[in-house]
Amino acid sequence: MTILLLALRRLAASLPTLFLILAGLFLLLQLAPGDTVDALMAQMGGGDPATAEELRRYYGLDVSALVQLGRYLLRLVRLDLGMSAIYGKPVADVIAERLPVTLLLMGTSLALAFLGGMTLGVIAARTVGRWPDTLLSTLGLVFYATPSFWFGLMGIVVFAITLGWLPSGGFEEVGSGATGLARALDIAHHLVLPTVTLALIFLATYLRVMRTAMLEVMNLDFVRTARAKGLGPTAVTVRHALRNALLPMVTILGLQAGTMLGGSVVVESVFALPGLGRLAYESVVQRDLNTLLGIVFVSAILVILINFAVDLLYAWLDPRIAAGG
Amino acid sequence: MNRREVLAGIGAAALSAASAREALAQSPRRGGVLTVQLSGEQRVLNPAIRASTGVYIITSKIMEALVDLDAQGKPAPVLATSWEAAPDGKTFTFRLREGVAWHDGKPFTSADVQYTAMEMWKKYLNYGTQLQQYLEAVDTPDPHTAVFRYSRPMPADLLLRALCDLGYIAPRHVFEGTNILENPANTAPIGTGPFKFVQYERGQFVIAERNPDYWRKGFPYLDRIVWRFITDKAAATAALETGQVQTSEYNALALADLDRLKSDPRFTVSSRGLEANAFNNTLEFNCRRKELADVRVRRAIAHAIDVPFFIENFIYGEGKPATGPIPSSSTAFYPGGKPPYEFDVKRSNALLDEAGYKRGAGGIRFSLKLVPIQNGEDVPLLATFIQQSLQNVGIRVEIVNLDNAGALATVYRDWNFDLATGWHQYRGDPAVSTTVWYRSGSPKGAPWTNQYGWQSAVVDKLVDDAATELDPARRKALYADWVKAVNDEIPVWMLTERTFLAATSKKVKNDHNYPRWGSGDWHDTWIEA
């Protein structure tokens, strides 16, 4: 119960920020030349002014920016995100369609990156200065520095075109009609390449943070004590050092939650995945204000929730934090 | 009789004879799924309110127009079986096909034609509102006759050619009494075509399946068509190479990949079947700039740009220098001739000197702002090429990069440009798509119209006369005079003449067999097992 209250208090505290973000973004987008009807005209290869005028009226663009903002905020109070200009459906529906894909993709990649980074970081720390450490650190840097679209495309060239093991893109087999486990396996099959591509980018960060944290913790008194009482190196690492070294990792996880919800435009485009990142990009290009503001709104709320969860996780990892807070 | 009617009327026996013309050795296979790659999503899937190749490529399989082109590029019957124009050109009578049903089972009648023409084409359809602005009424004396009444003479060839794109019929019983723009059938289309709409997953795919009750008996061959949205061009090529998709139309792949796939035996890369959609690279001049108001400066700029070099080195030789705004594929109007402005730096410099713009400090005569309108990947390349070419004759060019919506607003609404470059897309008849680029009087803000602060009484008169001239030969002559006039004045310069490219798996048969295939119904298309 206290947790729920705490969560609600957090949410209430961030409402003014949320309002400022949305109003600011709305006004910022007014500065971009062209509106959604211009984008539509560009897409359909032109049209006469009467059509354009009719469409401006339809999209509610025939009034001043302030009136538009007022209308938007008034709707928002009633939790109505408006209609998406691109899809002609309520923004809430459009986002609800995309959210699972993004959450699945980003969740699995972050988990993979976190676990991989943690394991490799520990190995690097334990072999510090020797060849495994050098190799892992170098590889991590290489992955970090390589653009994700290149990774994605190379993955497609090798595993989809040359070897034919994995599909080159898409979320699932179109029109296969599979359900249940078969569908889950199909989706997993499609998500292998994009997940690994994204995870490799994040991996380097976790690897380096884990390595540093481990090295620091390994020199602390309680580790020396553990060794002194006769524990083996593995037990020391896993039972004593790891848990303490995980704190900075969790911090990064919380920070990356924001990036995560924005999705990855690049990876989603390369693998033709219908995620939030591509939707946001498309909304900007098509000047679809409602959808863009809707994405920002939903992402902001989710970021708040995730950071709250991270705070709880801190307390679980290190009881001193909860006692202090 | 044309090929498509033969196919429909006589069936399988006539089919082999008709197919022989296409040098088809195999007999068609029934069944199979054809998957098409698309690079972007459309907001509505209703060709009666939205004219765009991106809409046609999906909906033309589901909905049908009154007429379509035949293999020779002439208007041929689809939902209209015959037509007749009154001698004064103000009345146009269509006989409609009988025994055609909408996908929901209701019969197709003249009431559908009347409703679509008056409520959709005339009110909402881009290019249609303009084409039908003098349409007063559509009379329906019986369920299979529709009489279009115009207040000004409407040339039959203009109307028929335009109706291939701007003549799709929507079901009255679905739209009547609703807000047309918000009707759910705009994204779940109901038509009379060979394929029925099944499913649209936003951001992923659209599926349509065989219509067993299609009026062309025995057609279509395919069980399903799937359109997949793959925005990344490299990924789209990968999908084609792995067999996830079988065809990609309208330059949806990168030019470099198209060039590479040309030598791949698994695919055909060609502009065949897309000839009805010719386009040009353009250079528009804002004549409100005093330098550009001088026709000598505009001509000097044209002379300074080596168009053949651009075609050869930037767009893999896919195109040729344009001879004017009417492309050579438009045989009904193409006046012939050669490119009006040869590459000639010396002449360019001489013209600029003559106009009084001597080279100043650093060899610069004056500076211009160029706004690329990014219709395709070649547009920024051409912008850079123009920049470097004009540098050689002493004009400094600053490129202003904006996305599509931004560029359109900047050029056509705010007039905040000196030069602009993009594409001009020709839609079968100069009066539909092209004369608006030159005719004065377009309201501020209409994209791809004359917003250059340029006006010519001669050109305006030629445009108006040709739009109401009923005699095809005289119409062609008027357009020849018009091309000559606008080539001379160049308020906008058409540099290249190009057709779109498609990359298609050789497993696909009866593909690209008429000039509007990309936007066609694919009733006779089939796919190898």
* pLDDT tens string A6-17: 777 877 887 888
Check A168 against B238: CB less than 8 A apart.
yes
Identify the CA nearest to B314 among candidates B490, B496, B494.
B496
Instruction: Dump the DSSP string for B134-188.
Output: TEEEEEEEETTEEEEEESS---HHHHHHHHHHH-B---HHHHTTS-GGG-GGGTS
pLDDT at residue number B206: 94
Measured between beta carbons, the chain B residues lying within 8 angstroms of A168 are 235, 238-239, 241-242, 244
CB proximity under 8 Å: B 429-488 to A: 433, 436, 442-443, 445-449
Smallest Cα–Cα separation from A156: which of A113, A111, A182, A190? Answer: A190
Ramachandran region, residue B94 (left: φ > 0; alpha: ψ -120 to 50; beta: rest): beta
Interface contact B260, partner A, CB < 8 A: no
Give the Cβ contact number of residue A89 at 10 Å: 15
pLDDT confidence band for B482 (50 / 70 / 90): very high
For the domain made up of B278-497, the CATH class stated in words is alpha beta
Parallel, antiparallel or unpaired: strands B205-210 and B195-201: antiparallel
- Is B84 in a helix, a strand, or coil? strand
Query: Inter-chain contact B239–A272, Cβ cutoff 8 Å?
Result: yes
Residue percentage of chain A with pLDDT more than 70: 96
Mean pLDDT of chain B: 90
Q: Give pLDDT, residue A263.
A: 58
Confidence of residue B25 (pLDDT cuts 50, 70, 90): low
**A1 class by beta-carbon count within 10 Å (0-12 exposed, 13-18 middle, 19+ buried):** exposed
Structure tokens at B465: 């006369």
Judging contacts by C-beta atoms under 8 Å, the chain B residues touching residue A40 are 43
Residues 6+ apart with CB under 8 A from A213: A121, A244, A245, A246, A247, A248, A249
CATH number reported for the structural domain that contains residue A239 in this entry: 1.10.3720.10
| Total domain count, chain A | 1
Question: Is-contact B484 B458, C-beta < 8 A?
Answer: no
Q: Do A174 and B204 touch (CB under 8 A)?
A: yes
pLDDT at A70 over 60: yes
Closest CB to A285 among B129, B403, B409: B403
Residue A226 in any domain: the answer is yes
Q: How confident is the model at residue A137 (pLDDT cuts 50, 70, 90)?
A: confident
- Nearest-angstrom CA–CA distance, B102 and A291: 34
CATH number of B3-43+193-274+502-527: 3.40.190.10
Residue A262: the pLDDT is 61
> Which element (helix H / strand E) includes B505?
strand B502-505
CB of B271 closer than 8 Å to CB of B502: yes
pLDDT for the residue numbered A59: 83
The C-alpha atoms of residue A61 and residue A68 are separated, in whole angstroms, by 7
Question: Is there a domain that residue A248 lies in?
Answer: yes
B57: confidence class by pLDDT, cuts 50, 70, 90: very high
Give the start-to-end residue ranges of the domains of chain B: 3-43+193-274+502-527, 63-182, 278-497
pLDDT at residue B20 greater than cutoff 50: no
Mean pLDDT is lowest, of A45-59, A124-138, B214-228, for: A45-59
Judging contacts by C-beta atoms under 8 Å, the chain A residues touching residue B235 are 152-153, 156, 168-169, 269-272
Q: What is the distance, to the nearest Å, from the Cα of residue A67 to the centroid of all Cα atoms in its chain?
A: 33
Res. B76: pLDDT tops 50? yes
pLDDT above 90 covers a percentage of chain A that reads: 1
Which residues contact residue B147 at a Cβ distance below 8 angstroms, ignoring those fewer than 6 apart? Answer: B91, B92, B93, B94, B138, B139, B140, B141
Which tokens belong to A240?
């004593």
The pLDDT, as a whole number, for residue A217 is: 84
Q: How confident is the model at residue B257 (pLDDT cuts 50, 70, 90)?
A: very high
Name the amino acid, one letter, at B184: P
What whole-number distance in Å separates Cα of residue A137 and Cα of residue A124? 8
Angle between helices A289-317 and A276-285 (to 10 degrees): 150
Q: Looking at chain B, how many residues does it have?
A: 529
Whether A203 shows a pLDDT value over 90: the answer reads no
Closest of B79, B54, B50, B77 to residue B64, by C-alpha? B79
Residue A134 lies in a domain: yes
A229 pLDDT tier (thresholds 50, 70, 90):
confident
**B404 has a chain A CB within 8 A of its CB:** yes
Distance of CA B119 to CAs A143, B90, B170, Å?
57, 20, 10
Backbone dihedral region for residue B31 (phi beyond 0: left; psi -120 to 50: alpha; all else: beta): left
pLDDT band at B490 (very low <50, low <70, confident <90, very high): very high
Query: Taking residues A306-323, what's their average pLDDT?
Result: 74
Question: Residue B338 is encoded by which pair of tokens?
Answer: 């050669």
User: Which residues lie below 8 Å from residue B157, measured CB to CB, with a gap of 6+?
Assistant: B332, B429, B472, B475
Q: Does CATH number 3.90.76.10 belong to domain B63-182?
A: yes
Rounded Cα distance, B375 and B378, in Å: 8
Residue of A nearest to B375 (CA): A42
> If you average pLDDT over residues A107-124, what whole number do you get?
88
Q: Assign residue A170 a region: left if phi > 0, alpha if psi is -120 to 50, beta otherwise?
A: left
Domain assignment present for residue A45? The answer is no
| Model confidence, pTM | 0.86
By residue range, what is the domain housing residue A295? 95-149+200-324
Residue A206 lies in a domain: yes
The token pair at A128 is 């510090």
pLDDT > 60? residue B452: yes
Least Cα distance to B395 among B314, B312, B303, B321 occurs for B303
Compare CB distances from A47 to B127, B181, B413 and report the shortest one's residue: B127
Query: Three-class SS string for chain A?
Result: CHHHHHHHHHHHHCHHHHHHHHHHHHHHHHHCCCCHHHHHHHHHCCCCHHHHHHHHHHCCCCCCHHHHHHHHHHHHHCCCCCECCCCCCEHHHHHHHHHHHHHHHHHHHHHHHHHHHHHHHHHHHHCCCCHHHHHHHHHHHHHHHCCHHHHHHHHHHHHHHHCCCCCCCCCCCCCCCCCHHHHHHHHHHHHHHHHHHHHHHHHHHHHHHHHHHHHHHHCCHHHHHHHHCCCCHHHHHHHHHHHHHHHHHHHHHHHHHHHHHHCCHHHHHHCCCCCHHHHHHHHHHCCCHHHHHHHHHHHHHHHHHHHHHHHHHHHHHCHHHHHHC
pLDDT at B22 over 60: no
CA–CA distances in Å: residue B482 to residues B342, B470, B491: 20, 17, 13
Q: What is the pLDDT of residues B401-445, one digit of tens each?
A: 998 888 988 998 899 999 999 999 998 889 988 998 999 888 787
pLDDT for position A303: 79
Question: pLDDT value at position A253?
Answer: 81
pLDDT for the residue A322: 57
Which one, of B242, B347, B234, B224, lies nearest residue B297 by Cα? B347
Which residues does B435 contact at the CB level (< 8 Å), separation at least 6? B463, B466, B467, B482
Q: In this predicted model, what pLDDT tens digit does every residue of A246-264 receive, in sequence order? A: 888 888 887 777 676 665 7
pLDDT value at residue B167: 94
**Mind telling me how many Å the CA of B487 is from chain A's nearest CA?**
23
Q: With bands split at pLDDT 50, 70 and 90, how would you rate the model's confidence at B5?
A: very low
pLDDT of residue A129 exceeding 90: no
- Pairs of residues, one from chain A and one from chain B, whose beta carbons lie less than 8 Å apart: 186
- How many Å lie between the alpha carbon of A216 and the closest alpha carbon of chain B? 44
Q: Do the bridges between strand B91-96 and strand B135-142 make them parallel or antiparallel, or are there none, so unpaired?
A: unpaired
How far does the CA of residue B337 sit from the closest CA of chain A (Å)?
28
Q: What is the pLDDT of residue A227?
A: 82
For A93, residues 6+ apart whose C-beta sits below 8 A from its C-beta are none
Q: How confident is the model at residue B463 (pLDDT cuts 50, 70, 90)?
A: very high
B346 touches chain A (CB under 8 A): no
Whether complex ipTM tops 0.85: no
Using the beta-carbon criterion (under 8 Å), do A286 and B230 form an inter-chain contact?
no
Choosing among A91, A174, A282, A288, which should be mutated to test the B contact, i.e. which has the most B CBs within 10 A?
A174
The band of B23, judged by pLDDT with boundaries at 50, 70 and 90, is: very low
> Is B226 part of the contact surface with chain A (CB cutoff 8 Å)?
yes
